[in-house]
Amino acid sequence: MICNVHWQSDILSGRFMAAATVAKLHSLPEFRADVDIAQQEVLKTKEAAARSPRQLEAQSAVFGGTVRRWLSSAQV
């Protein structure tokens, strides 16, 4: 529970609705096309980072290391 504000049933219902929403989105061709485009963008960014680690370090410094963490956790 979050700060004793929500009941456990609220949390479970929210998870259920989120899962149903994501399942519906994945059934839509438009959404799948957007996901495919985003995956290609992540792949290109990872490839660029591998070719230019100094640029990645500079970006990570500006964004507090979030770029590096995001690239290492993003799955394509």
Q: Has this prediction a pTM greater than 0.85? A: no
Looking at residue 22, what is its pLDDT?
A: 94
Euclidean distance between CA atoms 4 and 60, whole angstroms: 36
Domains of the chain, residue spans: 8-73
**Residue 2: pLDDT above 70?**
no
More confident residue, 1 or 64: 64
Q: Over the stretch 17-68, which tens digit does the pLDDT of each residue have?
A: 999 999 999 999 999 999 999 999 888 888 877 777 777 777 777 776 666 6
How many angstroms separate the CA atoms of 42 and 28, rounded?
Answer: 21
Looking at the predicted structure, is the pLDDT value of residue 70 above 70? no
Question: Treating both helix axes as pointing N-terminal to C-terminal, what angle do 53-62 and 66-73 enclose, rounded to 10 degrees?
Answer: 120
Distance from C-alpha of 32 to C-alpha of 62, rounded to nearest angstrom: 32
Structure tokens at 46: 């990872």
